[in-house]
Amino acid sequence: MNPIIPPKLKPGDEVRVIAPSTTLAIINEEQRTLANQRWQEMGLRITNGRYTEERNQFNSTSIAHRLSDLHDAFREPQVKGILTAIGGYNVNQLLDGLDYDLIAANPKVLCGFSDITALSNAIFAQTGLVTYSGPHYSTLSMKYGAEYTIDCFQKCVLASAPFAVPQAADWSDEAWYADQERRTFHSNSGYLVINEGEGNGRLLGGNLCTLNLLHGTRFMPDLAGSILLIEDDYESHAAAFDRDLQSLIHQPGFNDVRGLIIGRFQTKSKIDDNTLAEIIRTKAALRHMPVIANASFGHTTPQFTFPIGGQGILVAQKDGVKFTVTKH
């Protein structure tokens, strides 16, 4: 299956916000105002799906209504791109009900991360449509520290040229949405190079524990020939990450994976560099490939955007790392 790269977004385009996981209703008006301003500064016109404000006991809404909003966003010709409201836990409820023929016939940018990993990788596996692991609509509600996130999104989704992914200058790991003013930013010491080497291939991945929900299903992409980007949130500690990574290694095609990029862990995970390096050293399947960690994506902020199904090159040496997205 040849990948389908959707048309790039451009100034004036309508971008639809949908809530395939957690409802938009949890985002307050002050945060929405700032998010809308940020998206508008990129020239994008934000509209909301019909059912994004519905809210049940799971902070979500029915499968039927979530599918309806997603299908409408792909179906309606004036909508040029799709942003997810926020992550959550239940997007994999939608996978059997998606109209993959409709999606393939109307290729559009779809961007989100965390729980959206299941949706993005399933769409790529079933249609070949390249999707994007990057900010939710609500991510740009962040008052401080969003500049890197915005810049990387624009390079990946509003432009076509290959680009080297820089490391963010600093990073933060608070519940910023609870208190926008009390933020601590840490200087970024750079990538942790665990295995040196070079690799090129298809970019796949996202949130590891969510990606693993696809194992053994028709929604799991073929890992052969890929560079995998994986990350996890504060719910993942060292033992959980170890077994989730091992489960990924057991998937068909892993013997032809070309590289592994691990996003920065949240502080509550208590996974330091030495612990992570030891986990990697126990995996014989990883010894032939470059492996780096502390990359600027995932559940710490800021984050870069990468194309799920796109192409990239990873060069990892002790004296430096270069990660380049070549097709997106």
**CA dist., res. 49 & res. 64, Å (int):** 13
Residue 235 burial (10 A CB sphere; 0-12, 13-18, 19+): exposed
22-48 burial, b for 16+ CB within 10 Å, e for fewer?
bbbeebeeebbebbbebbeebebbbeb
User: Of the candidates 76, 75, 78, 54, which has an alpha carbon nearest to the alpha carbon of residue 66?
Assistant: 54
Q: Could you give the C-alpha distances from 10 to 14, 15, 41, 79, 80, in angstroms and in order? A: 9, 10, 12, 12, 9
Which residues belong to the active site?
114, 231, 299
Which amino acid, 106? N
